[in-house]
């Protein structure tokens, strides 16, 4: 049976849609978002926006997406009550939304399945992607393999070093991984390089952006494909607990797993929403990746949002133990949710994330991705301040197998 949760247009929830009704027709979330690109990309972006609009209103496309999410990705993913972790934290129940159980090991495939089907529908022969931790690159290479499309993945050379296993996985899947040596050699530079490729090859190439950033329609489109996380969670928590969670928590780099969980809950005012940025060595040290906590409004990668930048408007270098959070910008919808106060954005540093990684692994037998470990760490802190009958739902956005080398390095060990 096809998974009916895969509808990008959600009509199941109450009608007060003020917060779920963004962006406007030109891709603005309040003052954020939009389309800040060189003129060459304006026409392709408009073409993409129209193709996506047509696809999401086409029952055949949505049925194909539903079927793939069910049979290929393995949805719906379960929600899991992490009892031992909850007891350890002392306070509210901590539940996980198990996106780590998706095919390829993270939430990223929800989006690449959607954009891959759209690429095929548009007749594109080649897909390109940027990747940080490598999860989006793997998910893109996977979809390309299945659809028979050529695939090129741009990845910062520093990230290739940190995520060597994922680089090999992409190559096994038939993708070409192109190292990016410019700038800080991480995710932001990979995104620049993918945009350059797209400008030069717009006729036959579809650019699968992996997060809810970039020019319109990417932030809205990626959110729609990821919102299956929140729609399932909402229904599952009602089924299992007969109520919505009191708080939902997700890590935020660009912010795709977070917005996927948050969006269907935006109009449930009784649900508190927490996005967890990467505090790195500590926000006060400047070595972090927390633009919502310590950045300011600016324009990068085609959209206006919170950005880490210096006093001259140059983009700052970022740091996080987790490559997937190591990004100086953040999706424009998060910027807007912060400003209107609907979501709270906090930060967790490298040390606390690593501690949560080890604790979750040892007492739950679930090895979180280092990205997701940031959310687990905050959920432990938050749960400790809440009553035992309350519920915190954490997005376990990916599994930690890819992070073995980083974890060992942080512990002073080698594999």
Q: Which stretch binds other proteins (CB under 8 A): 13-21, 65-73, 313-321, 341-349?
A: 313-321
The yes or no reply on residue 340 touching other proteins (CB under 8 A) is no
The yes or no reply on residue 300 touching other proteins (CB under 8 A) is yes
- DSSP state, residue 154: E
Q: Are the C-beta atoms of 279 and 348 separated by less than 8 Å? A: yes
Among candidate residues 234, 227, 277, the one with its CA nearest the CA of residue 252? 277
The yes or no reply on residue 44 touching other proteins (CB under 8 A) is yes
51 vs 141, beta carbon nearer other proteins: 51
Given 67, 120, 199, 283, the residue binding other proteins (CB under 8 A):
199
- The gap between the terminal CA atoms of the chain, to the nearest Å, is 43
Chain positions 158 to 197 lying near other proteins, rule: CB under 8 A, are 182-183, 188-189, 192, 195-196
The Cα-based distances of 177 to 117, 129, 151, 196, 317 in angstroms read 22, 10, 9, 15, 23
Active-site option among 108, 185, 188, 402: 108
Q: How is 16-30 classified by DSSP, letter by letter?
A: --TTTS---TT-EET
- Exposure b/e, 147-186, CB count within 10 A at least 16 = b: eebebbbbbbebbbebbeebbebbeebebebbbbeeebbb
The nearest distance, CB 346 to other proteins, in angstroms, is 26
203 vs 389, beta carbon nearer other proteins: 203
Alpha-carbon gap, residue 24 to 41, rounded angstroms? 20
130 as an active site residue: the answer is yes
Alpha-carbon gap, residue 230 to 264, rounded angstroms? 5
The yes or no reply on residue 290 touching other proteins (CB under 8 A) is no
The yes or no reply on residue 129 touching other proteins (CB under 8 A) is no
Given 22, 37, 79, 393, the residue binding other proteins (CB under 8 A):
37
The yes or no reply on residue 80 touching other proteins (CB under 8 A) is no
41 vs 369, beta carbon nearer other proteins: 41
182 vs 385, beta carbon nearer other proteins: 182
Alpha-carbon gap, residue 236 to 248, rounded angstroms? 14
The nearest distance, CB 331 to other proteins, in angstroms, is 17
The yes or no reply on residue 330 touching other proteins (CB under 8 A) is no
402 as an active site residue: the answer is no
The nearest distance, CB 178 to other proteins, in angstroms, is 13
The yes or no reply on residue 249 touching other proteins (CB under 8 A) is no
Alpha-carbon gap, residue 295 to 310, rounded angstroms? 9
Q: How is 227-271 classified by DSSP, letter by letter?
A: THHHHHHHHHHHHHHSS--SEEEEE-SS-HHHHHHHGGGTT-TTS
Q: Are the C-beta atoms of 347 and 275 separated by less than 8 Å? A: no
The yes or no reply on residue 25 touching other proteins (CB under 8 A) is no
Active-site option among 99, 130, 277, 364: 130
The yes or no reply on residue 36 touching other proteins (CB under 8 A) is yes
Alpha-carbon gap, residue 136 to 110, rounded angstroms? 10
The nearest distance, CB 44 to other proteins, in angstroms, is 7
Query: Annotated catalytic sites, by residue?
Result: 108, 130, 397
Binding site for other proteins (CB under 8 A): 26, 34-44, 182-183, 188-189, 192, 195-196, 199-203, 298-302, 307, 309, 311-315
């Amino acid at each position: 049976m096809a998974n009916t949760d895969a509808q990008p247009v959600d009509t199941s929830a109450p009608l007060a849609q003020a917060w779920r009704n963004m962006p406007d027709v030109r891709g603005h979330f309040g003052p954020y978002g939009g389309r800040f690109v060189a003129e060459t990309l304006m026409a392709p972006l408009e073409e993409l926006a129209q193709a996506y609009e047509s696809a999401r209103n086409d029952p055949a496309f949505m049925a194909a997406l539903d079927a793939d999410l069910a049979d290929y990705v393995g949805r719906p993913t379960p929600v899991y009550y992490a009892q031992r972790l909850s007891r350890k934290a002392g306070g509210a129940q901590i539940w996980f939304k198990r996106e780590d159980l998706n095919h390829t090991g993270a939430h990223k495939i929800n989006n690449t399945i959607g954009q891959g089907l759209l690429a095929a529908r548009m007749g594109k022969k080649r897909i390109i992607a940027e990747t940080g931790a490598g999860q989006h690159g793997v998910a893109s290479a996977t979809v390309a393999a299945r659809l028979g499309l050529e695939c090129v993945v741009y990845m910062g050379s520093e990230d290739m070093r940190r995520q060597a296993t994922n680089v090999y996985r992409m190559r096994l899947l038939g993708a070409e991984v192109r190292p990016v040596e410019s700038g800080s050699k991480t995710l932001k530079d990979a995104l620049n390089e993918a945009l350059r490729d797209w400008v030069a090859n717009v006729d036959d190439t579809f650019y699968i952006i992996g997060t809810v950033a970039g020019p319109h329609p990417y932030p809205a489109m990626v959110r729609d494909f990821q919102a299956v996380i929140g729609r399932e969670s909402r229904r599952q928590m009602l089924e299992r607990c007969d109520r919505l969670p009191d708080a939902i928590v997700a890590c935020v780099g660009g912010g795709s797993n977070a917005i996927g969980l948050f969006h269907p809950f935006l109009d449930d005012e009784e649900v508190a929403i927490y996005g967890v940025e990467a505090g790195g060595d500590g926000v006060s040290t400047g070595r972090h990746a927390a633009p919502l906590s310590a950045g300011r409004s600016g324009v990068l990668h085609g959209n206006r949002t919170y950005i880490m930048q210096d006093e001259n408007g140059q983009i700052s270098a970022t740091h996080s133990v987790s490559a997937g959070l190591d990004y100086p910008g953040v999706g424009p919808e998060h910027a807007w949710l912060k400003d209107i106060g609907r979501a709270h954005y906090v930060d967790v540093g490298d040390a606390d994330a690593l501690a949560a990684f080890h604790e979750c692994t040892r007492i739950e037998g679930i090895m979180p991705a280092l990205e997701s470990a940031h959310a687990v760490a905050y959920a432990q802190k938050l749960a400790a301040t809440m009553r035992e009958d309350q519920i915190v739902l954490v997005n376990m956005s990916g599994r930690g197998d890819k992070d073995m080398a980083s974890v060992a390095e942080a512990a002073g060990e080698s594999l």
